[in-house]
Amino acid sequence: MKSLFNKERAAAFARQYPALPEDLALRVYTSRLIGADKNLVLHGGGNTSVKLKQHNILGEEEELLYVKGSGVDLSGIRPDQFVGLFTAPLKKLRRLDSISDEQMDLQLKIHRSSHFSLNPSVEALLHAFLPHKFIDHTHADSILILSHQKNGPDLMQQVLGPKIAVLPYVASGLCLAQAALGAFEARPEIEAIVISSHGIFTFDRDGRRAYEKMIHYVAKAEAYIRKKNRKRAVLTPRTGLMPPEDPKSVAACFAQMVRGMCAGSLSDDRFRRFYVEFRTGAELVRASLAQEAEAICRSGVLTPDHVIRTKNKIVHIESLPQTEAALKALVGRKINAFQRDYRRYFNSQIRSSGIRPKAMDPLPRLFLVAGLGLFALGFTAREACIAADIGEQTLKAKLSALGLGSYLPISDDHLFDMEYWQLQQQKLDRSVPGLLQGQVALVTGGGGAIGCGVADRLLASGAAVAIGDKDASRLKKVHRVLAKKYGPGRVQGVVFDVTRYAAVEKAYEDVSCRFGGIDILVPNAGIAHVARLEELDPAKLDQVLAVNLSGTFTVIKAAIPVFKRQATGGNIILISSKNVFDPGAAFGAYSASKAGAHQIAKIAALELAEYGIRVNMVNPDAVFGDHRISSTLWDLVGPERMKSRGLDAAGLQDYYRQRSLLKTRVLAEHVGNAVVFFASNQTPTTGASLPVDGGIPAAFPR
């Protein structure tokens, strides 16, 4: 590990914030350097601070501590994500013997310089108590690897040198702040404090030196581990165990299955679903196939800070049975065993601690599967990604730790204190979940206006969305629009042809390996052709039927095994057409193919109800798109329609608007709203047709 500090870049960064005190700008810059290295911190871990002298409203000078907001990711931290705290009243708290969670939370809130700022880091008191101007704290892997050895404290002192203080694990908050201050007062010459199974703090009056001390000590630990690891084989392969021949297909099947088995029922027909993030790679696969895998999975987190993200233990699936039924039975036993173990841990800790917190869910978050790799679960796509990142980094760190000789787990009481600490739980996302949070949607025809509008409304309602299309360039454009609005973590583009069944199955595998499965299917891919029957080329008819009718059939058929593996119901919402009920002349190929697809959807409603899968139809008309994303259908038939009616593009749109009862323009987002209505199970409805056409009497469902 090397310092990434660059004097010119630091100065350029400060110039972006001319109103910001120079030292606070430097604090933001070096914090981002720390956050950029996953070997130092991951997803909201670690914290940094700077103390500044500032004048209050009366013109009096006082010291403010600017400390990272709780749960903020250092890699992209902004100046407004540092919380200003008045240090004088906080320093007085060192005289207390103890403080309750409620009182500590209150003290940190009332001594903020701004009522509107975030909650400060849970280590704010330590940053306040120590006198140094700049303080950096990380959960550096190499430091934690050393601390998990049998002789951890002595080894850390030996490797890192005399200018550090090594303390045993102390719970975050007042106790840790007092212990750190005591260590510094006993030895003012120290440059760093290491807390066993927690991490390292470095400090200095200069921001660059505080950061580079961090890099210096972490690099020393890394060098020692690297040297020792060259001399020791860590993993012993299990005889006769190999990765599956088609790992992606098996991984998709496993993700669908485990996601469904962990979904908790909210009511008769609603579930709290998980997203699944799948990680593979040579090192993870080797670990999954090793004799040591079970012990590694049961040996716990690197630091208690991770337990709220991943739980303490990883479920190890030691082999993959030949049949899906056998795999499901094995996974079920493993999940049940994990839950029993978690409940024992919880009940034991509340008896010994005397506190009575509300139990968190007992479900696992990480699975290490033989021959495949790591699967992580989260209630949001971001939570699943965080758990996967931490899980992957933890497994790799444990292998390095075993290369040194051992890995000692953290005690249950330390874990429980952190997992159920009120201030730690503030890092978790407590926002009101979206209507479709936890659900995964696949929208075919995603490169067109309706596909984009439907995906937009599903994303706005909390779902993760995969958009599929045969046209890679159009799909890329829609993906860019949606990712810019909602972030890239919840949108996936998949290029495939709905007329090819094998391609559809592969697309479902891609989506399942990205998000875990599919809950909402929106068959929307369609093409059109204008010709009177006597002029209709049979080849053109076959082409339209292949996409609009057969394509609908293939995506529904291929989705059924996915829905059944998850066993949590689901929704299929066909984007049908007003032409099903009110066809137009010279539009026979399109109207007939859409009528056929509509009928297929009705049959699906009859056949899939027993699995809790609802199938409904949305019948739009005259959705033209906008300047960003055009309608592929109107791109094809618009010029012919304009020519036949003697209108330009604007006139054609107005013509269709005026012919409806409501005289309104139908937007792609309106179609998306109808999809969300069905997908959110707000009524017990299946087999229904919902017009989104402004009111066309001839197209009223009947």
| Cα-Cα end-to-end distance for the chain | 70
Contacts 24+ apart (CB under 8 A), 387-392: 387/277, 387/309, 387/310, 388/277, 388/278, 388/279, 389/38, 389/42, 389/43, 390/42, 390/43, 390/306, 390/309, 390/310, 391/279, 391/310, 391/314, 391/365, 391/366, 392/279, 392/284
CA separation for the pair 700, 702 (Å, rounded)? 6
User: Please, what is the Cα angle at 686 between 684 and 687, to 5 degrees?
Assistant: 150
DSSP category for residue 646: T
CA separation for the pair 299, 389 (Å, rounded)? 18
Kind and range of the H or E run holding 373? strand 373-378
Q: Among this protein's residues, is 590 annotated catalytic?
A: yes
CA separation for the pair 638, 92 (Å, rounded)? 75
CA separation for the pair 493, 54 (Å, rounded)? 50
Q: Is 307 helix (H, G, I), strand (E, B) or coil?
A: helix
DSSP category for residue 285: H
Rg (CA), the chain: 29
* 53 Cβ contact partners less than 8 Å away, ≥ 6 residues apart: 61, 62, 63, 64
- Sheet containing 520-522: order of strands: 491-495, 464-469, 440-444, 520-522, 570-575, 613-620, 689-692
- Select which of 275, 508, 590, 656 is catalytic: 590
Structure tokens at 436: 């479709």
Structure tokens at 171: 């719970």
- Which active-site residues does the annotation give? 590
